[in-house]
Amino acid sequence: MRQEQTIRGAVEFSGIGLHSGAPVTLRILPAPPGSGIIFRRTDLDGFEVEATSRNVARVSYATSLMKKGVLISTTEHLLSAFIGTGIDNAVVELDNLELPILDGSARPFIEMINKGGIRRQRRPRTYLRMLRELEMREGSKFIAVYPSNTYSVSYAINFPHPLIGRETFQVDLSDGNYLRQIAPARTFGFLHEADAMRQQGLIRGASTDNVIVLTRDDVMNPPLRFQDEFVRHKVLDLIGDLALLGKQILGSVVADRAGHAMHTALVSRILRDKSLWEETTIEESSGPTQSAPEAVVASGALEC
């Protein structure tokens, strides 16, 4: 039976928030089986906000959580990294409202999680397996999830830019695919939109160190890590947003120009209609689903 996992040892790193521009120090700590992901604001007497759909507060340009007025902003990259490394339970301490953007991808989070190591726990991991399809449309935007025994994502974007246009990417999140194909993809933005966004209080921490900056016809900070890095980053965001289900999903997710608002709306719709899914466990020898690379999992180690 596949078991839940947590980080083996605490790790700490610092950076700035993409939108707030505020400095922040973040620590990832082990958590008991069944805990899920819990954010803890150390600057607010350790107030905790669970990474669940009911705490979703803002979904404009990033996904933010709020509980009793306490905000945790830009959660999607770290939550995506937790799915990519098979982390089910962790406490995430931060001393400001927004997680650090680091290099704009999930790769630095993956590296820090691997540095801390991964520990298997004495509790079977339960998955949310889709039994029926669910489709949502909003104008030209579309998102859906269909029954499957694995977790796969197919995403399409369309931007009127010579380096993007219509990009599509499909990935089965079996062992290693996330780490190689998704985690390195960075967030991106358009230079001509920057002033307007800053006037809205956004992207105050953005720079060519943490965002792919697109001019009218090129990139300010080449090279790209993938030719289709833009759509791959949208997949990264989607995986992080779907982590708010509270369980790893078994289903085929299809999205076209969806974005954070539709990602999180899909999560809410799934959780609201329990006829769409069932909880299940997976035998260790059964077909591929995403889990941590063996190199970073404590061999044979189980924690109560």
Q: What digits encode the pLDDT tens for the residues 103-125?
A: 999 999 999 999 999 999 999 99
Q: Which of 10-19, 281-290, 294-303 has the lowest mean pLDDT?
A: 294-303
How far apart are the C-alpha atoms of 18 and 102, rounded to whole Å? 9
Looking up tokens 């610092």 gives: 14
Radius of gyration, CA atoms only, the chain:
18
Helix (H, G, I), strand (E, B), or coil: what is residue 202?
Answer: coil
Residue 58: is its pLDDT beyond 90? Answer: no
pTM: 0.94
Q: Which domains does the chain have, with CATH numbers?
A: 3-126 (3.30.230.20), 127-280 (3.30.1700.10)
Residue 222: how many other CB atoms lie within 10 Å: 8
Q: What six digits make up the tokens of 13? A: 């790193």
Q: Which amino acid is at 205?
A: G
| Catalytic residue ranges | 260
- Run of H or E including 54: none
Q: What six digits make up the tokens of 130? A: 């889709």
